[in-house]
């Protein structure tokens, strides 16, 4: 895949693409370490301008008839589908997903979010209750909903167009405006999504994009004119957001640790296939990744015919030589199950709690090159446990 020269590299503030005030930063592809884009970096002053633009646009956007807002959301979905292929290719280039997984994210998850949010807001209802303060039936209590105002959206790199589209679609469907900070590892594909909004008829200032690092996200969280926060990312950062803005409404989707439990009567072939897909999908960079496999102690660790085998019984059924190479960005992944690890700081597995008795650690390592496209070494650790009632 060649790097496209005409890709967005600026911030979107008040409907205009502008340079940030913090210089620039490079975005490199995890496939080859080549420079994908040089992006304009924002700082707190740019956040101030973006929040001001969002605040100015919010009353008129909220006052727009609901059906007109929904028509714009439907138009975003339509244009998104039409432009999905170059966005998917940029997702693959920036964060290392196979092109098939990138297409799945863009076509099946990200683009439909705007259509779904429009349908959901049309079905949204208030509530009516009888009054219990008087001995009469001629008084009712009515609960309705109104937009929160300006919402900060801080989104991750692993599903850059999907998670951000879920957030943005529902934020603006309800009549709010947004200040969006994409991950610094996937700014270009997110900016390509933001380019669709103007063509779809979204008024200037309804969605603003500020690019940069953690200081930009912190400026959004701490801003007095930001009324709510959407954040998907690490638990540590989520805890900081919760403590620094405790009175703001927050939706925090934080890291997870998904044990995969194989029971004694399981179909082993199906269980192993599910465990491997759950562990190695997008090289394990998923909050619901199957980080640990556990089996019942009542099941022998090896079949009788392989009683001397030292490997856990469920791994004996797995063809470990199948599709264990990282994928170049444009190859269909029929022969390539995953790409390179996207974020360099996550190459070393982070410590995890150990609630179960550890039996064996299996480490898969691969270093390879294809043609003139080099790949860096990577390692993935899959921990295998055994459940024992006695322990």
Dist. CA 280–CA 296, nearest whole Å: 22
Residue 159, SS3 per DSSP: coil
Q: Which of these is catalytic: 120, 253, 296, 376?
A: 253
Tokens read off for 336: 């390539």
* DSSP, residue by residue, 346-358: GSSPPP----SEE
- Say if residues 75 and 313 touch (Cβ distance below 8 Å): no
**CA angle 258–261–265, rounded 5-degree value:** 160
Known catalytic membership, residue 190? no
- Say if residues 266 and 296 touch (Cβ distance below 8 Å): no
Q: Which of these is catalytic: 190, 279, 287, 386?
A: 287
Known catalytic membership, residue 287? yes
**CB within 8 A of 117, min separation 6: which ones?**
73, 169, 170, 172, 173
By CB atoms closer than 10 A (0-12, 13-18, 19+), residue 108 is exposed
- Say if residues 336 and 325 touch (Cβ distance below 8 Å): yes
Which residues are known catalytic residues? Answer: 253, 287
């Amino acid at each position: 895949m060649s790097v496209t020269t005409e890709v967005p590299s600026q911030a979107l503030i008040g409907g205009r693409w502008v340079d940030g005030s913090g210089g620039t930063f490079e975005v490199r592809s995890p496939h080859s370490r080549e420079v994908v884009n040089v992006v304009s970096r924002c700082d707190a002053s740019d956040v101030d301008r973006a929040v001001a633009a969002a605040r100015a646009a919010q009353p008129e956007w909220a006052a727009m008839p609901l059906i007109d807002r929904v028509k714009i959301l439907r138009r975003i979905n339509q244009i998104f589908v039409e432009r999905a292929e170059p966005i998917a290719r940029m997702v693959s280039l920036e964060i290392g997903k196979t092109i098939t997984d990138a297409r799945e994210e863009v076509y099946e998850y990200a683009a439909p979010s705007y259509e779904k949010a429009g349908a959901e807001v049309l079905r949204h209802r208030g509530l009516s209750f009888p009054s219990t303060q008087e001995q009469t039936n001629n008084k009712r209590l009515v609960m309705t909903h109104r937009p929160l105002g300006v919402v900060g959206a801080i989104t991750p790199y692993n599903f850059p167009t999907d998670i951000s589209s879920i957030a943005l679609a529902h934020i603006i469907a309800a009549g709010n405006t947004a200040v969006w900070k994409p991950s610094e590892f996937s700014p270009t594909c997110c900016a390509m999504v933001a380019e669709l909004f103007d063509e779809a008829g979204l008024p200037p200032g309804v969605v603003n994009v500020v690019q940069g690092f953690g200081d930009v996200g912190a400026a959004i969280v701490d801003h007095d004119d930001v009324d709510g926060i959407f954040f998907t990312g690490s638990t540590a950062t989520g805890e900081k957001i919760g403590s620094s803005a405790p009175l703001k409404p927050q939706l925090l989707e934080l890291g997870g640790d998904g044990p995969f439990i194989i029971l004694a009567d399981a179909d082993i072939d199906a269980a192993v296939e599910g465990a491997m897909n759950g562990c190695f999908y997008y090289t394990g960079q998923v909050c619901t990744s199957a980080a640990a496999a556990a089996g019942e102690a009542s099941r022998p660790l090896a079949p009788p015919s392989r009683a001397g085998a030292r490997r856990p019984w469920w791994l004996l059924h797995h063809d470990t030589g199948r599709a264990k190479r990282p994928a170049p960005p444009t190859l269909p992944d029929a022969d390539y199950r995953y790409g390179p690890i996207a974020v360099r700081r996550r190459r070393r597995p982070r410590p995890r709690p150990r609630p179960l008795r550890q039996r064996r650690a299996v480490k898969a390592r691969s270093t390879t090159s294809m043609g003139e496209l080099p790949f860096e070494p990577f390692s993935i650790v899959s921990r295998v446990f055994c459940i024992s009632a006695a322990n």
